[in-house]
Chains A and B, each alone.
Chain A
Amino acid sequence: MWFTVSLVVILFIICLGGAAYETWMERKVAALMQDRFGPSRAGKFGLLQPLCDGGKLFFKEDFVPRNAEKWLFIISPGILMLIALSTGAVIPWGKSLFIAGVSYPVQVASIDVGVLYIMGIVSIGVYGIMLGGWSSNNKYSLLGAIRASSQMISYELAMGLSLLSIIMMSGTLDLRVMVEEQATNLYGISFLNGMAWNVFYQPLAFILFVTCSFAELNRAPFDLAECESELVGGYHTEYSSMKFGTFLFAEYINMFINSALISTLFFGGYSFPYMNKLVENGLGENWIGIISILAFLLKIVFCVFCFMWVRWTLPRFRYDQLMRLGWRIMIPLAILNLLITATVVVFT
């Protein structure tokens, strides 16, 4: 029990800190890709920048439009934040730690329908955006919210379908089991121990899932939820101060969690090459546990970097292009992939 509680607290801190430093990383990555320096004044390498940003947001005027649905207006950033944070519960963050004679898996809730839980929770995230946009009683916010939510809902379909093929292959909804399955030999070659990552077996599902993640996270090139030029700002036009900050923050936490999910589903989660070999050779359980956590974090950071990399490479899609891509390309491709996977699974 105490392990779970402390894990929850640690996760909470990691998610918040991670999100804060993601903003720093985002600015740094953007700057370096554009041949600039990025934050460099606040502390060494601008490492204190997130603190300054946070402080600035807290001290800004907190404004609520007169005709807004006040209560909903105030809680909708919270909804988004809550949902963003609660997805982390089922993700296996590491193999296991051996403390005081008991072996604890590094996971808050090891439920056997982990994937289902995540898909369910993520789809609630739309509420935060929709309520936020609607309750501010502003046409542009509403348009932005509708845009964001229709985008999220359309892409969730393709996301779910691409996930189905993974589930079909591994025959489970439990994320931990999925990870353990990926820690075996790739194509049965013992040289590639612990590399049986789904990305090698299901490249199409991987591409589809990642693309949908971009859309789900409202990140460029699918950041249609916020367009300064068309919608003044998007669903958060009327938001200011830390309420706006919470929206932004939730987005970064989502990115963190989503990267964790991508790593878990496609890159072997906390497993690392030769993990099982090390276990057989009798390396201590705690060592394995710590290395696995670090490996997982490394994978997450890489995924986050890729998210940023794409963001600062591609321009924004047009709305009809986005919808066409979602409905007429992604979903048929996902179904095709599903059929192929089903055939392979049945006949082998």
Chain B
Amino acid sequence: MSLKEKAYLPAILGGMKITLKHFFKKPVTIAYPEKKREFSPVYRGQHVLKRDDQGRERCTACGLCAVACPAEAITMIAAERKRGEENLYREEKYAEKYEINMLRCIFCGLCEDACPKEAIFLTDRIVMPEPKRNNFVYGKDLLVETLENRIDVSQRQIKSYTVEK
């Protein structure tokens, strides 16, 4: 070591200069509840089950998403559409019960890729923390979008994201 290094002090002062510089920099922290970080358009958060333009549920309970799911997070029970329910479900078969276990899900997005009906999409919403494990099994009440509050997935439908190059 040279004398300058042995004396410690120049190095210490150099370090202090660096920390002082940071003292006057703007903090990079995002104060979460007030300010939210912008997500990338390909962010994969909580799922949504889409309705079509007439407000009917698109899912036909084909089960392809459940098969595609590597984490086996999706379970569903199919039912037949009754007469008079045409305004509720688009196909003759629909998911009477559709559940995703958010603790199992790894947000890979394969369910979205597998779906032939463009019914399931991952969105930029965050799965909220819960004190009880059972509450993480999301049913249709949480997954299906409401008519008043449609969830925008147009970004995910752009070809460059969905089709492999």
A contact residues vs B (CB 8 Å cutoff): 29, 31-37, 40, 207, 309-310, 312-314
Contacts and interface: CB of A to CB of B under 8 A. Distances in A.
A37 B31 CA distance: 8
A17 B29 CA distance: 29
A29 B23 CA distance: 8
Contacts, number: 37
A86 to B, nearest CB: 32
Nearest to B7: A329
Contacts of B12: 310, 313-314
Nearest to A40: B31
B9 interface: yes
B9 A33 contact: no
A225 B20 CA distance: 26
Contact of A35 (B15, B18, B27, B31): B27
A33 B23 contact: yes
Contacts of B19: 33, 309, 312-313
Contacts of A31: 27
A343 B69 CA distance: 85
Contacts of B28: 35-36
Interface in B117-156: none
B16 A35 contact: no
Given A314-B12, A314-B15, A309 B31 contact: no
Nearest to B17: A313
A-B pairs with lowest CB-CB distance, top 4: A313-B19, A313-B15, A33-B19, A35-B28
21 contacts: A32-B22, A33-B22, A34-B22, A35-B25, A35-B26, A35-B27, A35-B28, A35-B29, A36-B27, A36-B28, A36-B29, A37-B29, A37-B31, A40-B31, A312-B19, A313-B12, A313-B16, A313-B18, A313-B19, A314-B12, A314-B15
A207 B19 CA distance: 20
Nearest to B8: A325
Given A34-B22, A35-B27, A36-B29, A309 B9 contact: no
Contacts of B25: 35
Say which size band chain B's interface belongs to. Answer: 10 to 19
Contacts of B23: 29, 32-33
A37 B29 CA distance: 7
A310 B15 CA distance: 9
A37 B12 CA distance: 25
Contacts of A314: 12, 15
Given A32-B27, A36-B28, A309-B19, 6 more contacts: A31-B27, A32-B23, A33-B23, A35-B22, A310-B16, A313-B12
Contacts of A310: 12, 16
A313 B17 CA distance: 9
A208 to B, nearest CB: 11
A314 B18 CA distance: 11
B71 to A, nearest CB: 35
Interface in B1-43: 9, 12, 15-16, 18-20, 22-23, 25-29, 31
B42 to A, nearest CB: 27
Nearest to B30: A37
Contacts of A309: 16, 19-20
Contacts of B15: 313-314
A223 to B, nearest CB: 16
B100 to A, nearest CB: 34
A313 B9 CA distance: 13
